[in-house]
Amino acid sequence: MAPWGQMKILLLEDDTRLAGIVARGLRREGHAVDMASTVEDARWFAAESVYDVLILDVMLPDGDGFELCHDLRGAGNWTPVLLLTARDAIDDRVRGLDVGADDYLVKPFAVAELFARLRALARRGSTERPTVLVSGDLRLDPASHQVVVDTRPVPLAGREFALLEYFLRHEDEVLSRSRIIDEVWDWAFEGTPRIIDVYVRALRAHLGRGSRTPRIETVRGTGYVLRRPKSAPKPVLEMDG
């Protein structure tokens, strides 16, 4: 067994030579590796088995790794994803991360670096890392910096947007003003934690009071909590595709 623990890995790569090199290296380390050369095959493997990490090539004969990662995240599959690509354009890397990938490795690469990145991903585990937060009729997209309540766009300034995103990622958790300051503001902030009250009032005015809109409640003597509507599930991933 490898010192970083035996893993089950899905490798999607249509370059048979590269796939063979990577698979042999992983198996020597004690890992189980399933190999696919098309998006269709990889989709089937991902539906039929549970993996610790997915290694997805970007350019395939029948699609790309972006598309597959997008679909997996949309279906609630949070297995860590490492994208492989020969393209080093910033736009490609941004797109990969925005569709839910966890890491990005440009070809050609050293196998030792691949292994190091896999170790980091394995430590992260299959926890939810939604790229778009949805609760009730509220939808927040960090990548496009858009907020929608029902069908109504809600324009927010930078700090308002950051505060709402923080509330959504800690929904139903009571947050003190000092904690919010520490995690949403930077070290250069020299004001009082009461500035949070001003931003909360602004967010309440922007969001409105719909029955399916999460509400920011005051917890006297402590801070604030974002309550999701009773009929709404916890925030989940939603992606346009």
Those residues whose C-beta lies under 8 Å from the C-beta of residue 208, and which sit 6 or more positions away, are 149
Query: Is residue 71 assigned to a domain?
Result: yes
Neighbours of 219 (CB within 10 A): 11
My answer on whether 209 and 173 are in the same domain is yes
User: Please, which pLDDT band fits residue 187 given cuts at 50, 70 and 90?
Assistant: low
Q: Is the per-residue pLDDT at 165 higher than 60?
A: yes
Give the span between the Cα atoms of 27 and 8, in whole angstroms.
10
Answer whether 42's CB lies under 8 Å from 68's CB.
Answer: yes
Q: Are residues 40 and 117 in the same domain?
A: yes
Q: Is residue 105 domain-shared with residue 193, that is, in the same domain?
A: no
pLDDT at position 94, please?
80
- Say which range, 81-85, 146-150, 181-185, 234-238, has the weakest mean pLDDT: 234-238
44 inside domain: yes
pLDDT digits (tens, 9 = 90+) for 192-211: 878 899 999 999 999 888 77
Q: Which of 125, 137, 114, 123 is nearest to 215 (CA)?
A: 137
Verify that 81 and 176 share a domain, yes or no: no
CATH number at residue 65: 3.40.50.2300
Q: What local confidence, expressed as pLDDT, does residue 108 receive?
A: 86
Last residue of a domain, one of 98, 124, 150: 124
- Segment among 97-111, 132-146, 226-240 with least mean pLDDT: 226-240
Give the model's pLDDT for residue 169. 83
pLDDT at 3: 41
Q: Which CATH number fits the domain that encloses residue 220?
A: 1.10.10.10
Of the residues 124, 151, 168, which one is the last residue of a structural domain? 124
Looking at every residue in the chain, the average pLDDT score rounds to 84
Quick one: 35 and 140 in the same domain? no
Question: What is the side-by-side strand order in the sheet with 223-227?
Answer: 175-176, 223-227, 215-219
Q: Is residue 205 domain-resident?
A: yes
Domain membership of residue 64 as a residue range: 8-124
Q: How many CB atoms lie within 10 A of CB 185?
A: 17
pTM: 0.60
pLDDT at 95: 79
Which tens digit of pLDDT belongs to each residue from 210-232?
778 888 999 998 899 998 887 65
pLDDT tens-digit series, residues 25-77 = 888 877 889 999 999 999 999 998 888 899 999 889 999 899 999 999 888 88
Is position 138 within any domain?
Answer: yes
How many distinct structural domains can be found in the chain? 2
Residue 209: inside a domain: yes
What pLDDT is recorded for position 99?
84
For residue 186, name the pLDDT band (cuts at 50, 70, 90): low
Domain check: are 48 and 139 in the same one?
Answer: no
Choose one of 71, 96, 124: the last residue of a domain. 124
pLDDT at 241: 43
pLDDT at 114 > cutoff 60: yes
